[in-house]
């Protein structure tokens, strides 16, 4: 007896395969930036929810739409960044989708346009359109307007991106407060100096791409000293500006000490471990600090 698969079943398998391929492709685009985009955004959503009257019935909805919003926040940047930096990625990040040939440049650009449209639509629906547009303008200037070629403009892009990210996270839950602005501006503004850590791991690719990053302009060793000092000062700033005003309970004091220790460890690594792999690990630790300080906001606010 012979069995056969119906034509509708074949079509459904084909659609499932396409969806699966898209999910994997999106993951390949986003995977290195989730700890700096999706996770911090959701943590600040939780901080906004926790600081208001706790309504458990609204939490699943906030997490669901927040996760979609910040995934789009991430994919809009990552696709355009990888389109603009494909040549550099062949040297520094050969496992990225464009370099691996998993998608064509035209296919990536079409996906970017669709993601930007969906991001705008969702930002409007969630009531955070102004922050969505700020990020879209910023990432376009960074990736296609040559802002990424100069260390000051590159770091400024990250500051604006963090403000857009965290302001949207809070505002999709409740109106922004003075306390919320303090907790979002401190980690955002310090990116202007501390984000230069990222450039230490990509010196060869940046030089090939004719970028004027801090290590290339001022030299690697002066940049390492500057970044190490910036992380020590970050520990002091977060203590004074974030934790002292909220009152140092046992919980907030523990978080304060852990964040300060992480800053000291990163600063030490920058000076003592001087190779691209170690610098990548140090930068990932910085993204973890970014997540931890926003997790601390859940407790403190």
**Nearest 10 degrees: Cα torsion 153, 157, 160, 161:** -170
Q: What percent of the chain has pLDDT over 90?
A: 59
Assess whether pLDDT exceeds 70 at residue 11: no
Assess whether pLDDT exceeds 80 at residue 10: no
pTM greater than 0.75 (yes/no): yes
Place of tokens 């004027």: 212
pLDDT of residue 299: 87
pLDDT of residue 144: 92
Assess whether pLDDT exceeds 70 at residue 6: no
State pLDDT tens for residues 49-61.
Answer: 998 877 888 999 9
Assess whether pLDDT exceeds 80 at residue 9: no
Contact between 76 and 139 (Cβ < 8 Å): yes
Place of tokens 């450039």: 199
Assess whether pLDDT exceeds 90 at residue 172: yes
Instruction: Compute the distance between CA of residue 196 and CA of residue 281 in angstroms, rounded to an integer.
Output: 14
State pLDDT tens for residues 197-229.
Answer: 988 887 877 777 777 888 898 999 999 999 999
pLDDT of residue 1: 45
The H or E element spanning position 119 is helix 105-126
State pLDDT tens for residues 89-131.
Answer: 777 777 888 888 888 999 999 999 999 999 999 999 999 999 9
**pLDDT: which is higher, 57 or 264:** 264
Separation of CA 212 from chain center = 22
């Amino acid at each position: 007896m012979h069995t056969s698969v119906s034509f509708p079943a074949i079509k459904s398998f084909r659609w499932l395969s396409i969806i699966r391929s898209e999910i994997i492709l999106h993951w390949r685009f986003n995977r290195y930036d989730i700890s700096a985009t999706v996770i911090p955004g959701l943590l600040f959503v939780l901080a906004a929810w926790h600081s208001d009257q706790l309504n458990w019935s609204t939490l699943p909805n906030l997490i669901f739409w927040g996760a979609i919003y910040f995934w789009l926040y991430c994919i809009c940047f990552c696709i355009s960044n990888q389109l603009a930096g494909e040549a550099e990625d062949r040297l520094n990040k050969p496992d990225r989708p464009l370099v691996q040939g998993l998608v064509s440049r035209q296919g990536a650009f079409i996906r970017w346009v669709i993601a930007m449209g969906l991001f705008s639509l969702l930002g409007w629906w969630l009531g955070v359109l102004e922050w969505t547009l700020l990020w879209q303008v910023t990432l376009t200037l960074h990736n296609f307007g040559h802002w990424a070629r100069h260390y000051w403009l590159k770091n400024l892009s990250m500051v604006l991106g963090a403000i857009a990210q965290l302001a949207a996270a809070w505002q999709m839950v409740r109106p922004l407060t003075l306390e919320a602005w303090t907790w979002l501006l401190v980690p955002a503004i310090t990116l202007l100096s501390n984000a230069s850590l990222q450039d230490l791991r990509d010196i060869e690719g940046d030089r090939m791409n004719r970028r004027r990053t801090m290590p290339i302009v001022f030299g690697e060793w002066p940049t390492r000293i500057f970044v190490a000092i910036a992380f020590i000062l970050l520990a002091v700033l977060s203590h004074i500006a974030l934790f002292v005003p909220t009152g140092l309970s046992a919980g907030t004091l523990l978080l304060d000490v852990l964040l300060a220790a992480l800053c000291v460890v990163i600063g030490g690594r920058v000076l003592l471990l001087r190779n691209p792999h170690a610098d990548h690990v140090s930068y990932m630790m910085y993204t973890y600090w970014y997540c931890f300080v926003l997790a601390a906001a859940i407790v403190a606010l």
